[in-house]
Amino acid sequence: MIDVRKFMLKYKGLLSAAGMILAVALIFWTVNTPAIVGASATQRELPIYAVQRDDKVVALSFDAAWGNEDTQTLIDILNKYRINATFFVVGDWVDRYPESVKALADAGNEVMNHSSTHAHFSSLSRDQIIADVTACSEKIEAVTGVRPTLFRCPYGEYDDHVIHTLRDMGMEPIQWDVDSLDWKGISAEEIRTRVLKNVKPGSIVLFHNAAENTPDALPGIIEGLLADGYHIVPISQILLTGEYQIDNTGRQYAKR
């Protein structure tokens, strides 16, 4: 921040009264201009919400924290269309349903970390976050043989402290840019319409494994995406490799 008083004292011999007024005005404009504010905003620690892609590729993701009634049905639907998705599972869910975790992985789907106990991460210390994430990753690895590299914050909640800690652990935090709203109990047709209307190249779509109408909505969504020329892949295959940046909307793009 510029100290206006020191500036005026330093240059008072060089500036006329009118020039001094103009100089001070320019200083205040520079400090408070939206461009500067916007630049600061982009320095926030953000997860990846979507990816800048020129090709028509999209990722479907499912959060698994509580119920398990429909997991096998979802696996069967994905298998029918020969596609894979990313499932973010809670450690406690892994404890209860290890056979489903193995079935997801055996079918070629990604099994990623959704925390150990579905806690509010913004209220946790750095050490608590590390312990929680590590515990879940170890449970997943014990069942699937693969250690997770992606993380989705419980409740979608995060702050700079959370995201910075996750990246220090080598975990990439992932959000979504298309919410199916299946968790609200809306109809299968509403879910299908909402997803197909809002998806775009590089989108990450959010579903839940235990939402009431997701199994009925999923086939129509997949068929609609495929008919529109989309290639459906797990999240790790949609992410950019090498150097990248994340804009203030959470979109990942190649570093320029």
Q: Which two tokens stand for residue 249?
A: 């909307």
Angle between helices 160-168 and 126-144 (to 10 degrees): 50
Catalytic residue among 63, 70, 177, 182: 63
CA–CA distance, 170 with 120 (Å, rounded to integer): 20
Look at residue 48 and give its three-state secondary structure. strand
Active site residue 3: no
Query: Strands 244-246 and 251-254: what pairing?
Result: antiparallel
Check residue 177 and report its DSSP letter: S
How many residues are present in the chain? 256
Catalytic residue among 76, 132, 208, 228: 208
Active site residue 208: yes
Among the residues of 118-240, which ranges form H helices? 126-144, 160-168, 188-198, 214-227, 235-238
Point out which residues pair with 246 in neighbouring strands.
252
CA–CA distance, 160 with 142 (Å, rounded to integer): 30
Contact 64, 86 (CB under 8 A): no
Point out which residues pair with 88 in neighbouring strands.
63, 112
Which residues are tagged catalytic?
63, 208
